[in-house]
């Protein structure tokens, strides 16, 4: 197949067709299946990516990658699609990709929220949440988003009003700037500015209020961790945890795949990488005995920073205000770390402020950044960037007879593919290319079981001792996180001897519990002293004594751990 166009935002049908083509082109490396259906009966198509000739996916350590959880953030879909394409097309060419495909598995759901995304991509609406119609919308009152003039966009409306809060910029009349406290009538005319829309239960002269949201859902406040009822800005929490079909399908998939222990979810915007903890300061990791997890988070986050140039930050410490912290209830990051013991990263793609000449996230004040506080010069820089890179991103102000307000002008910045997402074309590809390797390099650091030594020793006629050394050759420990041990979701390493008919076990157990084997990550907190005595807990030995009536016979040694994979070796007794 031809290389997919990763600079185009695909509709649902286009997305499904691309995934089917990738599977048809690379059947040795992919499986394509639906993990559930949305309210509007769209399948949640998921791609399983690995080299199936080296073993089934469920016998390999795996990570999960998804995008477009929020309907208005389709950039993540393209990151997911290109991740799939890069893995399958670079197998045998790229050493890291080949190693991962042979020994790990990656599950990719490019579009978590296809119902809401389809509305966002094909209709003028910006705030489409999960695409679930709000039954209370029509009974409400106030201003709501709508494409009033029918041009296919939902932009802004301005109309003259002596009490208006805005005026035209003297440097560019397209730009509406805040009226200063000292502006009197002679500094006018002044304007009211609203998002393009209409009013429910309109009464001329009545104060402007906001109507209920048109759509509900959006998944990322509907997970069980710290869930609480009540509507929230990014989609609401729903009536109960996992009420929405999409998070329920993802949670069920994880329950059925204990080999999963890492997650990357791609959002927009802001230009930053969010890591746990979501509901606690960093000091909490030590309080609960998971300080090693924080160190691994920092190592993985450092890789993300290197690739994307985005800071990797603690959600609790750097991303939210004190009075905003209830906002994080029901979030995916808390659920997958605290309930499932996985390392989770949520990348907020597209650093639009930096694109228009401002600083990166931390330097510009982090969470304190406020679009309403942009200076006139900063807003002029925004217009300049749009003019030079994506002229469709600004709609010229055009007079229109609004059915409720009378004469208005409609226009302004088209926010979908400027402030919210990169413009289609080179800027979308630019963003995708920066991010695809983060999840791939995370996968390379998962634990990996190997039988590194196996020996057969004849004890007496027909009696043999079989010994083996089982090692974790990966960076992470076989439990992956300390949290997984704490909440008892990490299964131990099991070593098993499989005997043919006529052979019997004299000493030892057929299955031996080896506990958890450390990875190199366990040394992150140790003093870095050359030559220091450090116990090696990355490996463990096991032995069996076997009696057989005839030789030669072949026995199989198997070591397995859901998060670290399965490895087998055959030895001959003779």
399-412 pLDDT, tens digit per residue, is: 999 999 999 999 99
Q: What pLDDT does residue 233 have?
A: 45
Over range 16-45, report the average pLDDT: 98
Over range 13-29, report the average pLDDT: 98
Pairing, β 272-275 against β 394-402: unpaired
pLDDT at 21 over 90: yes
Over range 260-271, report the average pLDDT: 95
pLDDT at 326 over 90: no
CATH architecture of 449-573: Sandwich (2.60)
Pairing, β 105-109 against β 62-67: parallel
Query: Measuring CA to CA, which residue among 176, 121, 126, 170 is closest to residue 147?
Result: 126
Return the top range by mean pLDDT from 193-197, 213-217, 528-532: 193-197
pLDDT tens per residue, range 504-515: 999 999 999 999
Return the top range by mean pLDDT from 131-135, 186-190, 390-394: 390-394
Over range 269-277, report the average pLDDT: 94
Residue spans of the domains in the chain: they are 12-121+217-350+422-443, 135-212+354-420, 449-573
| Gyration radius from the chain CA atoms | 28
Query: Measuring CA to CA, which residue among 415, 455, 414, 430 is closest to residue 555?
Result: 455
**Strand runs labelled E in 117-190:** 132-133, 142-145, 156-160, 166-168, 176-178
The two structure tokens encoding residue 100: 């991962």
Query: Measuring CA to CA, which residue among 433, 100, 466 is closest to residue 262?
Result: 100
- Contact (Cβ atoms closer than 8 angstroms) between residue 378 and residue 295: no
Q: What pLDDT does residue 234 have?
A: 44
* Percent above pLDDT 90 for the chain: 82
- Window from 31-40, 270-279, 356-365 with minimum mean pLDDT: 356-365
Between 364 and 468, the higher pLDDT residue: 468
Over range 64-69, report the average pLDDT: 97
How large is the angle between the packed helices 75-90 and 12-25, nearest 10 degrees?
10
Return the C-alpha torsion angle 196, 198, 199, 200, nearest 10.
Answer: -130
Over range 96-108, report the average pLDDT: 98
Query: Measuring CA to CA, which residue among 211, 203, 161 is closest to residue 185?
Result: 161
Q: How many CB atoms lie within 10 A of CB 11?
A: 15
Query: Measuring CA to CA, which residue among 508, 505, 509 is closest to residue 573?
Result: 505
Q: What pLDDT does residue 430 have?
A: 97
**Strand runs labelled E in 359-510:** 394-402, 406-413, 449-460, 463-472, 493-498, 503-507
Over range 201-227, report the average pLDDT: 88
Alpha-carbon distance 335 to 337, whole Å?
6
Helix (H), strand (E) at residue 301: helix 291-308
pLDDT tens per residue, range 448-465: 999 999 999 999 999 999
Query: Confidence class of residue 124 from pLDDT cuts 50, 70 and 90?
Result: very high
Helix, strand, or coil (residue 5): coil
Query: Confidence class of residue 236 from pLDDT cuts 50, 70 and 90?
Result: low
Average pLDDT, the chain: 93
Query: Measuring CA to CA, which residue among 419, 303, 320, 414 is closest to residue 367?
Result: 320
Alpha-carbon distance 355 to 370, whole Å?
16
Over range 424-436, report the average pLDDT: 97
Q: What pLDDT does residue 290 have?
A: 97
* Percent above pLDDT 70 for the chain: 95
Query: Confidence class of residue 289 from pLDDT cuts 50, 70 and 90?
Result: very high
- Contact (Cβ atoms closer than 8 angstroms) between residue 23 and residue 30: yes
Pairing, β 62-67 against β 260-268: parallel
Alpha-carbon distance 271 to 258, whole Å?
31
Burial class of residue 436 (count of CB atoms within 10 Å of its CB; 0-12, 13-18, 19+):
buried
Between 229 and 322, the higher pLDDT residue: 229
Pick one of 3.40.50.300, 3.40.630.10, 2.130.10.10, 3.40.50.2000 as the CATH number of 12-121+217-350+422-443.
Answer: 3.40.630.10
Conformation bin of residue 271: beta by default, left when phi > 0, alpha when psi is -120 to 50: left
Q: What pLDDT does residue 143 have?
A: 96
Q: What pLDDT does residue 221 have?
A: 84
Helix (H), strand (E) at residue 285: helix 283-287
Query: Confidence class of residue 534 from pLDDT cuts 50, 70 and 90?
Result: low
Over range 336-359, report the average pLDDT: 95
Domains 12-121+217-350+422-443 and 449-573 share a fold: no
- Window from 175-179, 429-433, 525-529 with minimum mean pLDDT: 525-529
pLDDT at 45 over 50: yes
Q: What pLDDT does residue 351 have?
A: 94
3-state helix, strand, coil in the chain (%, to 5): 30, 30, 40
Over range 472-495, report the average pLDDT: 97
Alpha-carbon distance 237 to 347, whole Å?
21
Q: What pLDDT does residue 338 have?
A: 97
Cα 212 to its chain centre, rounded Å, is 28
pLDDT at 324 over 70: no
pLDDT at 293 over 70: yes
Those residues with Cβ within 8 angstroms of residue 12's Cβ, 6 or more apart along the chain or in another chain: 42, 111, 114, 117, 118
Q: What pLDDT does residue 222 have?
A: 87
The CB-side HSE value for 528 (13 A sphere, CA atoms) comes to: 3
């Amino acid at each position: 197949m031809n290389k997919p166009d990763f600079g185009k935002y695909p509709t649902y049908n286009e997305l499904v067709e691309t995934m089917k083509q990738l599977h048809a082109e690379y059947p040795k490396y992919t499986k394509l299946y639906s993990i559930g259906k949305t309210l509007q009966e769209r399948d949640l198509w998921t791609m399983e990516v690995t080299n199936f000739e080296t073993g089934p996916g469920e016998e390999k350590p795996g990570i999960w990658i998804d995008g477009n959880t929020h309907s208005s953030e389709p950039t993540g879909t393209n990151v997911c699609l290109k991740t799939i394409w890069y893995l399958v097309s670079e197998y045998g060419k790229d050493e890291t990709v080949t190693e991962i495909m042979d020994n790990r598995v990656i599950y990719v759901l490019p579009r978590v929220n296809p119902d809401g995304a389809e509305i966002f991509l094909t209709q003028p609406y910006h705030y489409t949440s999960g695409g679930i119609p709000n039954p209370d919308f029509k009974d409400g009152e106030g201003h709501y988003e709508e494409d009033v003039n029918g041009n296919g966009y939902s932009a802004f409306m301005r109309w003259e009003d002596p009490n208006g809060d805005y005026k035209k910029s003297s440097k560019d009349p397209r730009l509406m700037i805040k009226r200063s406290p000292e502006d009197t009538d002679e500094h006018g005319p002044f304007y009211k500015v609203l998002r393009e829309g209409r009013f429910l239960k309109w009464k001329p002269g009545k104060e402007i209020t906001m109507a209920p949201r048109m759509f509900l859902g959006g998944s990322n406040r509907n997970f069980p961790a710290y869930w609480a009822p009540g509507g929230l800005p990014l989609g609401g929490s729903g009536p109960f945890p996992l009420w929405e079909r999409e998070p329920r399908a993802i949670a069920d998939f994880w329950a059925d795949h204990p080999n999963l222990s890492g997650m990357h979810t791609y959002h927009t915007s802001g230009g930053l990488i969010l890591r746990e903890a979501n509901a606690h300061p960093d000091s909490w990791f030590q309080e609960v005995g998971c300080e090693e997890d924080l160190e691994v988070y920092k190592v993985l986050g450092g890789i993300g920073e290197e690739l994307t140039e985005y800071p990797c930050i603690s959600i609790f410490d750097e991303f939210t205000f004190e009075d905003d912290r209830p906002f994080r209830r029901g979030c995916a990051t808390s659920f997958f770390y605290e309930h499932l013991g996985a390392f989770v990263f949520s990348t907020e793609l597209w650093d639009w402020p930096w694109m228009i000449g401002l600083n990166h996230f931390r330097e510009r004040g982090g969470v304190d950044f406020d679009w309403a506080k942009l200076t006139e010069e900063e807003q002029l820089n925004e217009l300049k960037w749009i003019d030079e890179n994506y002229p469709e991103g600004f709609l010229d102000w055009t007079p229109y007879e609004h059915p409720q307000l009378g004469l208005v002008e409609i226009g302004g910045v088209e926010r979908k593919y400027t402030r919210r997402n990169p413009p289609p074309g080179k800027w979308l590809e630019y963003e995708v290319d920066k991010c695809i390797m983060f999840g791939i390099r995370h996968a390379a650091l998962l634990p990996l079981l190997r039988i590194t030594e196996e020996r057969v020793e004849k004890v007496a006629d027909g009696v043999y001792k079989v010994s083996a050394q089982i090692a974790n050759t990966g960076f992470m420990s076989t439990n992956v996180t300390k949290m997984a041990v704490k909440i008892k979701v990490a299964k131990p390493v099991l070593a098993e001897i499989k005997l043919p008919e006529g052979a019997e076990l004299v000493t030892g157990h057929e299955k031996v519990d080896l506990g958890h084997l450390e990875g190199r990550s366990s040394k992150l907190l140790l003093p870095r002293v050359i030559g220091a005595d450090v116990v090696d807990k990355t490996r463990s030995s096991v032995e069996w004594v076997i009696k057989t009536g005839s030789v030669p016979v072949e026995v199989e040694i198997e070591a397995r751990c859901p998060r670290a994979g399965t490895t087998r070796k055959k030895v001959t007794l003779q």
